[in-house]
Amino acid sequence: MAKHVRVGFHDRCFDGTSSAAVFSRFYRECIDPQAQYHYTGLVHLPAGQSLDEGIFDGDENAIVDFKYSPSPRLTWWFDHHQSAFLTPQDADHFRRHPSDKKFYDPAYKSCTKFLANVAEERFGFRAQPLAELIRWADIIDGAQYDSPEAAVRMNVPATQLALVIEASGDDHMTIRLIPELASKSLEEIMRLPFVAEEFRALYKRHENSLEVLKRHSSCDRGVVFFDVIDYPLEGYNKFIPYYLYPDCFYSVSLSRSPQRIKVSVGSNPWLQPPPDRDRNLASLCESHGGGGHARVAAISFNTDQVEQARAAARAITENLRS
């Protein structure tokens, strides 16, 4: 009987989905060519909640580009977020239980590149066939675009695919895409009918979101703020604030999905704040139960916690503007 491998990954995220694809190809080529894969998309949890132990139902269980779990059922783990551990106890568990299958390095801009490098160096994986995917995951997750226009106008397959991954209303879209990412070029994937059709619809919504954010955003003391909880805009392009306000340093926003309310906090990749305005955004969000990276972070709230989310967003906005 084929081995059942469960892969949990950061859902609605180009880097998380790409990490799952690279892990699957690595595992097939270097560990077990007969294994069968089952995927679970993971989203960041409100403060105080932990990963459901029930997701670890495989013969082997992996998490990529997402928080650590001390579960003895977790076999493989790769992450690069500053806020990789839900609690100090989880961080201590990781340190006290070294494993040759669990890896963490917050210096990497993308988990995809981190995973590919570790798999190549430790297990002899041939990452070259996925070089295009790995390069673009690093650009997209590390916000290393040449300009705000390049990030917002979406005129190459990678940025088009990122829109599909991050904004599709189909909860199974990322899971459908993982095997394609592991075996096809990004251009080939964008030609698949189910992807092309989804992109056309989402790009119309993207153009609409540009207009909504123009009307509902404001910039004060180098910080853009907007609240679009009342609009179906989860998955909006996170670079729009810097496209609209190229002189801003930071952005803070509130958005809603059927599962959560999200406070997103980001920094302008093309304009660094002066030293006295520089903030670690992951640390700011951690103080409200969230986390992420030093330059981009977020907080998740339950759908009935609108006022708590707005209070957190206001506090972070004032901190960044001070």
The DSSP string of 284-314 is HHHTTT-EE-SSEEEEEE-TT-HHHHHHHHH
Please give the CATH architecture assigned to the domain spanning 208-321.
Answer: Roll (3.10)
pTM: 0.85
208-321 and 4-144 share a CATH fold:
no
Return the exposure string of 251-262: e unless at least 16 CB atoms fall within 10 Å of the residue's CB, then b.
bbbbbbbeebbb
CATH architecture of 4-144: Alpha-Beta Complex (3.90)
Domain ranges in the chain are: 4-144, 208-321
The whole-number pLDDT of residue 259 equals 83
- 291-292 sheet: strands from edge to edge: 217-220, 223-227, 250-256, 261-267, 296-301, 291-292
DSSP output for 106-157: TT-S-HHHHHHHHHHHHH----GGGHHHHHHHHHHHTT--SSHHHHHH--SH
* Residue pLDDT tens, the chain, 322 long: 899 999 999 999 999 999 999 999 999 999 999 999 999 999 876 666 678 888 999 999 999 999 999 999 999 999 999 999 989 999 999 999 999 999 999 999 999 999 999 999 999 999 999 999 999 999 999 999 999 999 999 999 999 999 999 999 899 999 999 999 999 999 999 999 999 999 999 999 999 999 999 999 999 999 999 999 998 877 788 999 999 999 999 999 999 988 889 999 999 999 999 999 999 999 999 999 999 999 999 999 999 999 999 999 999 999 999 9
Which residues contact residue 127 at a Cβ distance below 8 angstroms, ignoring those fewer than 6 apart?
22, 116, 117, 119, 120, 134
Distance CA 26, CA 56 (A): 20
Looking at the chain, how many residues does it have? Answer: 322
User: CA-to-CA distance for 217 and 57, rounded, in angstroms?
Assistant: 44
How far apart CA 173 and CA 186 sit, in angstroms, is: 15
